[in-house]
Amino acid sequence: MTRAEGISSFAGLVITTSRPPISSVVSSFAWAMRMKLPRHGTIRGQTRPAFQARPPSIPGVPLSASPLAAEVRRRRTFAIISHPDAGKTTLTEKLLLFSGAIQIAGAVKGRKASRHATSDWMEIEKQRGISVASSVMQMLYRDHVVNLLDTPGHKDFSEDTYRVLTAVDAALMVIDAANGVEAQTRRLIEVCRQRDTPIITFVNKMDREVREPLDILDEVERELGMPCVPMTWPVGKGKAFGGIMNLRRQAMTVFESGSERRPQDFDTVPLSDTDELRRRFGAEYDAAAESMELASGASPEWDHAAFLAARQTPVFFGSAVNNFGVMEVLDALVDLAPAPQARKSTAVVNRQPVERMVEPDDTAFSGVVFKVQANMDPSHRDRIAFVRMASGKFTPGMKLKVQRTAKELRPTSVVTFMSQRREAVDEAYAGDIIGFTTHGGVQLGDTITDGSVNLQYTGLPFFAPELFMVVVLKNPLRTKQLQQGLAQLGEEGAIQVFRPQIGGPMLLGAVGQLQFEVVQHRLKTEYDCDVRLEGCPYTGARWITADTPAELKAFTDAYPQRLALDAADALAFLCTSPYDVRLAQERFPKIHFHLLREHAGLALQSAN
């Protein structure tokens, strides 16, 4: 069997490559029911091949005798993304449960729940039942090291989610089967598409009254701009939900509600036993078989290379709260998701920036700080820098270097994560997420190396805030604690902090209102600073640069009351309306205004 044939058999599909869009299939569903298309088990007269053994390696990743390359191939690093309340954090819990990483899952509940999700560790997350910060969890499954990043679903925390997506090799998209593709999902998918991040789709909550599966596939294709390849297919929905047909294993898994059930507890029936399936599920099975044939006929042939290039998404159905359909997703993450990929970096050669691709099995250690979290351990009030390893191997005691400052980094401890819990690192490889305890000197976007290479990773942006508030401290004796709290929260990206150059109260900038509430809560609980947030006239900010110091000085002299420094000491122009920027540009055409900035102001994107 050729590799291409093996991949096609892996999905259990034999389909012609020319296809009508799923939208036309949806409209022809009633026609198909009347015409009585072939029952499940054949597509266009061809018998489905039996499920083949899982491929020993991911296509496109060369086999190598190098122990480092072998360890890298075992890594899978992915983020879970969705609109709020689609079931993302619940699915995270169940993936951890089925991999053996945790023994009991705390479903996300209301405020009075006795258990809470492992990934929701902040007090405010437990109170509100939402994720307000991304969290990192590592688990071992089928001899693979899986790094799972749970992201905030709320749009007000999209900056944190965007930074997490720069640190992963794949994304697991969760869709509420009742609501389909929602606003926040569209925004996150656009980020994934910009980075060509492969996407696995999980349609959740099939045990509720939801939309037709064909409608959902049609919407995914229309909204996300990529074809869907069903890997499982639901039988019924809501109270009539009978289970899912697994096209890879050629078996139907029978649904039974209950959050304590494990995958081995669910009954399975071979798809070849159509008499038994009809006896147990009747018309629901017939309708599901018909619609599945239509969806399969309208779907492209499974192409792993297209999936890795973000041009195709495999689709799974299930109910995360009932532990149903989750194991199929976990297997797909190991079987389909890519191992760590090469990452683009910039090196300075003869004082000129030169781009180069850093391969994950390069022997030199390098990584990028994509998240800084303060006060994960309330007992120690420490700060953790989350580093996505891009190349090489880490061992305890290594000398590390922060490329931005050229200073040596000597972390007191290096850990891996299970949300808030940590374990000391014995060794880590490219693709892993490790954490350095730090007391300053490390910022978001910093490149960390072992000192043997001189390079800089980019692509970790800060967005210009659109909402501003003034911080007023109720007890002036807590000024020092307020300054420390705002400095640390600003460095970790929870909020953007601006210090007006003319003095006065600190300004907080955010992309969403909920960020202010979270920061106010954290200042009180973590730094014992009771603050009041008051409105201010500013509605936007632009980072500014100039070609010469004289031009910059002329601008700062003209607008002294509109200038502020952010957490990285990058100069920003505060505006009360879009016209302010336009007028300033007309008056000072040689000043550059930027909507985005990289960490430490090393790279800025023009407002144009």
The rounded distance, in Å, linking the Cα atoms of 102 and 421 is 12
pLDDT confidence of 306, banded at 50, 70, 90? very high
- Contact 503/544 with Cβ under 8 angstroms? no
One domain for residues 283 and 261: yes
One domain for residues 136 and 246: yes
One domain for residues 390 and 277: no
One domain for residues 474 and 447: no
- Whichever domain contains 170, its CATH number is 3.40.50.300
One domain for residues 429 and 351: yes
One domain for residues 449 and 505: no
Last residue in a domain, options 335, 365, 388: 335
pLDDT confidence of 185, banded at 50, 70, 90? confident
- Contact 330/356 with Cβ under 8 angstroms? no
- Contact 518/494 with Cβ under 8 angstroms? yes
Packing angle, helices 88-99 and 326-335, rounded to 10: 70
How many domains, the chain?
A: 3
313-317 and 199-204 strand pairing: parallel
- Whichever domain contains 592, its CATH number is 3.30.70.3280
pLDDT given for residue 444 in this prediction: 83
Q: What is the DSSP code string of 202-231?
A: EEE-TTSS---HHHHHHHHHHHH-S-EEES
Ranges assigned E (strand) in 1-133: 42-43, 46-47, 75-82
One domain for residues 79 and 123: yes
User: Mean pLDDT in the chain?
Assistant: 79
One domain for residues 390 and 517: no
Condensed to tens digits (0 to 9), the pLDDT of residues 571-607 reads 999 999 889 999 999 999 999 999 888 765 455 544 4
Last residue in a domain, options 335, 369, 396: 335
| Domain range enclosing 600 | 461-606
Cα separation values, 597 from 56, 267, 590, 604, 608, Å: 42, 53, 18, 4, 14
The rounded distance, in Å, linking the Cα atoms of 288 and 402 is 56
One domain for residues 48 and 171: yes
The rounded distance, in Å, linking the Cα atoms of 9 and 3 is 10
- Would you say residue 247 has pLDDT above 80? yes
Least confident of 84-88, 118-122, 463-467, 469-473: 118-122
Least confident of 118-122, 443-447, 488-492: 118-122
Three-state SS at 35? helix
Q: Which residue has the higher pLDDT, 185 or 380?
A: 185
Amino acid residing at 576: T
pLDDT given for residue 453 in this prediction: 87
One domain for residues 96 and 48: yes
pLDDT given for residue 542 in this prediction: 93
Condensed to tens digits (0 to 9), the pLDDT of residues 144-169 reads 999 988 776 556 566 777 888 888 99
- Pick the closest to residue 266 from 285, 241, 286, 291 (CA basis): 241
Radius of gyration of the chain (CA): 26
- Contact 81/171 with Cβ under 8 angstroms? yes
- Pick the closest to residue 508 from 525, 526, 493, 524 (CA basis): 493
One domain for residues 360 and 320: no
Structure-token pair, residue 216? 């959902």
The rounded distance, in Å, linking the Cα atoms of 384 and 579 is 41
Surface-to-core class of residue 353, CB atoms within 10 Å of its CB (0-12 exposed, 13-18 middle, 19+ buried) = exposed
pLDDT given for residue 40 in this prediction: 36
- Would you say residue 37 has pLDDT above 50? no
Positive or negative, the Cα torsion across 258, 261, 263, 265? negative
Last residue in a domain, options 457, 486, 516: 457
One domain for residues 129 and 192: yes
